[in-house]
Amino acid sequence: MKAIQQTLLQTPENIIRAYFKDKDGNPLLLTSYQSDFVKAILSGKHTRIIFIAARQSGKSEAIACAIALCALFLPNERIVNISYTDDQARIIFERVKAHLVDNCKEIREFVDLDRSLGKSKEFSKRRMFMKNGTELRVLSTGTGETEKTGESILGFEATILVVDEAGSIPDQVFFTKIMPLICAKRTIGRQKLLILSGTPHIINHFESSWRDPNYKKFHVDWKTAVNAGRLNEKAIMEQRQKMTKSDFECWFEARFPSMTEDSVFDMEEIERNIITEDLCFRGIKILSVDVARFGGDFTVYTMLDFCDNTYRIVEILKDEKKDLMHTTGHILALNTEFHFDKIIVDESGLGGGVIDRLKEQSTPNVSGVVAGSKCSSEEIAKNCLNLKAELYMKAKKLFEENRLKIIARQELLHELRQMKKEYQSNGKLKIVDPDKSPDFVDSMVYGLYKPNTGAFIVLDMDKKDENQTGWH
């Protein structure tokens, strides 16, 4: 068995070709990218793997092969495959069952058929047991209302967790119901493994994971699949003529959309404005604070430099579950160190108390911003619902003009992707927050506010800025 395991790790495609069958009953031949994906899973070198692929490029087959081989050769694992629909879950399970039970007597010997069949003597559609102690479950997030909440997957634990079509699963379900499956510490055996797969058709946790450097990444577009013999180029070109550019990019080029119709920000513009962290100020020093309102929110401190008609984020700090006195003290400590020219605090809710205390301490240049207040001018109010919408549109314009530079903080980038807009019946633009309060983005945009002059008056250079040298 050890010799077979060593061979498996080096060339799993040979094991698959010898013992697994395709849907027509022929020896199963993996493409090079399918084989590389399976090898990465079996190697034990990674704790996070993500696989984004064009439609019909063989993603589900690769997942089924990987699950089957893990069940066959890795003892005492708890393998859980979660799909966002029952139909997709059944597709994966049936392929795994075909590989382990239906197609080869030699492989079937490793399956604990008594436990897998159960008292009814019918094979379970969701569960399988191996003689090596490994258990396999295939679940879905549910249907109807349960699909939105993920209640159907509560109570399970995994050592290998595969989330198929991950992008179709809501953020809240992914973080609160799915990720806890691998949170328990493992003291014996391999480290726990999370595998995400899908087509990149939506901006959510799946897209954030793709950008996370902790993931081993696999990307398969339609050209790669055509070269591997999985897709027909003529048929793809016909589809291209019938689809929007954005849809084709998602479903066949396997690229995440830079923005959707209701997105506030274009991620290509965001990425263009990411710079290396630089803790030096060269112009007007601004501290912007979004004060936490609820237990799960952060108080976020964003330090910005305004120089050469450009805003640059210098640093981002956060506090969690701290009282207002701590927040006030933190602001005072930062001001003692950096001597800010402007301190802008979210005055809504609890922030009013922070401003009052700062003024009691005779802190200079402190201003409050109320996101739900009126726009800075009647002209802007024709298009924006409130000051928050105005500030977000200012940020968008600055990104478009390359005049808002940010640092690569994952919390900020994630929230920028999540921000949505909608139009009221009167035609005014409204900013729609995600389920989780966008503390980092709010803190950033509040720093763009210029008290008593209006949010959009940004082209006039402050006197202090006129004689400053530029930053690069």
Task: Specify the CATH number for the domain of residue 221.
Answer: 3.40.50.300
The pTM for the full model equals 0.69
What digits encode the pLDDT tens for the residues 186-217?
Answer: 777 788 999 999 999 887 889 889 988 899 99
281 in the same domain as 234: no
Give tens-digit pLDDT for 167-190. Answer: 999 888 999 899 999 988 877 778
pLDDT beyond 80 at 326: yes
Section 330-355 average pLDDT = 93
Determine, yes or no, domain membership for 340.
yes
Residues 58 and 34 in one domain: yes
Last residue of a domain, one of 221, 251, 281: 251
Q: Does residue 86 sit in the same domain as residue 218?
A: yes
Query: pLDDT value at position 151?
Result: 63
Domain edge (last residue) among 251, 283, 313: 251
Shared domain check, 224 and 292: no
Number of structural domains found in the chain: 2
pLDDT of 341 higher than 70? yes
For CA atoms 392, 396, 398, 402, the dihedral sign is: positive
- For the segment 110-148, what is each residue's pLDDT rounded down to a tens digit? 999 888 886 666 677 788 999 999 999 988 886 444 444
Same domain, 189 and 322: no
Alpha-carbon distance of 33 to 65, in angstroms, equals: 13
More confident residue, 295 or 342: 342
Residue 472 forms part of a structural domain: no
Q: Which residues have CB under 8 Å from 255's CB, separation 6+? A: 200, 221, 249
With the C-alpha atoms ordered 112, 113, 117, 120, is the resulting torsion angle positive or negative? negative
Residue 272 and residue 243 in one domain: no
What is the phi-psi region of residue 187: left when phi exceeds 0, alpha when psi lies from -120 to 50, beta otherwise? alpha
Phi, psi (rounded to 5 degrees) for 327: -60, -45
- Could you give the CA distance from residue 347 to residue 353 in angstroms, rounded to a whole number? 8
Band the pLDDT of 247: cuts 50, 70, 90: confident
Q: How far apart are CA 64 and CA 140, in angstroms?
A: 15
Rounded-to-integer distance, Cα 309 and Cα 284, Å: 10
pLDDT of residue 53: 96
In a domain, 324, yes or no: yes
- Are 225 and 276 members of one domain? no
- 284 plus 229 within the same structural domain: no
Domain of 97?
2-251
* CATH for 381: 3.30.420.240
For residue 257, is it within any domain?
Answer: no
What mean pLDDT is reported for the chain?
87
